[in-house]
Amino acid sequence: MDLQQFLMCLSLCTAFALSKPTEKKDRVHHEPQLSDKVHNDAQSFDYDHDAFLGAEEAKTFDQLTPEESKERLGKTVSKIDDNKDGFVTVDELKDWIKFAQKCWIYEDVERQWKGHDLNEDGLVSWEEYKNVTYGCVLDDPDPDDGFNYKQMMVRDEQRFKMADKDGDLIATKEEFTAFLHPEEYDYMKDIVLQEIMEDIDKNANGFIDLEEYIGDMYSHDGNTDEPEWVKTEREQFVEFRDKNCDGKMDKEETKDWILPSDYDHAEAEARHLVYESDQNKDGKLTKEEIVDKYDLFVGSQATDFGEALVRHDEF
């Protein structure tokens, strides 16, 4: 096996590795918390700083003076104001917060983008992705690692087509992001559901029964005694997952399980920031209103918005 095959296998092993027998595999996609700080403005604005900047960016608040921080915050307003009307709305602020929280996704996309845009035209076609990802391993009819690469390629192609909104089999960076991280996009939720159904529904009857549900999370591996959490999951299936009590989950019941309608932390924080900063109570913020409350957004410590702004421009 050459180096390229080895690296490919290594990445696939990471992506498809099974949990240890006593560990629980979590299929549920939850929105992450914006900060691990307590949200209490009477004590500090640390939660708001983490939410607005992302926790990693917030840690760099130790270099700039308040005046420098205000200046950089003012420049940031134009990045948040997508329609350039001079105001920052709740929706624009929510989008910025979501972006700040998910910079790691965009960094992952950027790394993969460079390796797949072979002709450097600013787009990634399905052919480019297929050649880079599967070009060598498909030549081996009996790979040593036991993976079915043809089946994996078919799944990738289905997902790529779903992400590719205009159907030309050529992905923009946004479409490529949706392909790599489908759980982050509403229009990709059906393919997330389809892939999980394919994984768990072993008899391919279109439903997930109790044993398939448990079998996806836990392997007995010869053990007769189940961990306590497995018993709890059996109860969860009967009492909450199987809503119509027919002994199995259909697609809608499975969707409710893996893609729950979570509380939108980003929207709640955006509304909070607007409420606290909106001096004339018109429901939107000007640059002046934001800078006047700079301590709520960025505090008086230092931050370097440079990297975040560059990433924002790229996407």
Three-state DSSP at 37 gives: coil
User: Tens of pLDDT along 32-63?
Assistant: 677 778 788 887 888 887 888 777 666 664 46
CB atoms within 10 A of CB 165: 12
User: Tens of pLDDT along 245-302?
Assistant: 999 999 999 999 988 876 788 899 999 999 999 999 999 999 999 999 988 987 544 3
- Locate the domains of the chain by residue range: 61-207+250-311
- pLDDT the model gives residue 310: 46
Give backbone dihedrals phi and psi of 208, rounded to 5 degrees, phi first.
Answer: -120, 115
Residue 78 one-letter amino acid: S
Give backbone dihedrals phi and psi of 248, rounded to 5 degrees, phi first.
Answer: -160, 160
Q: What percent of the chain has pLDDT over 90?
A: 48
Banded pLDDT at 76 (limits 50, 70, 90)? confident
- pLDDT the model gives residue 240: 94
User: Tens of pLDDT along 101-143?
Assistant: 787 788 889 999 999 999 999 999 999 999 999 887 666 656 5
Report if pTM > 0.75: no
Distance CA 254, CA 17 (A): 22
Supply the DSSP symbol for 145: T
pLDDT average, residue stretch 187-209? 94
Which of 38 and 235 is assigned the larger pLDDT? Answer: 235
- pLDDT the model gives residue 39: 84
Residue-averaged pLDDT of the chain = 81
b/e burial code for range 174-212 (CB count within 10 A of at least 16 → b): ebbbbbbbbebbeebbebbbeebbeebbeeeeebbbbeb
Q: Which residue has the tokens 């926790």?
A: 55
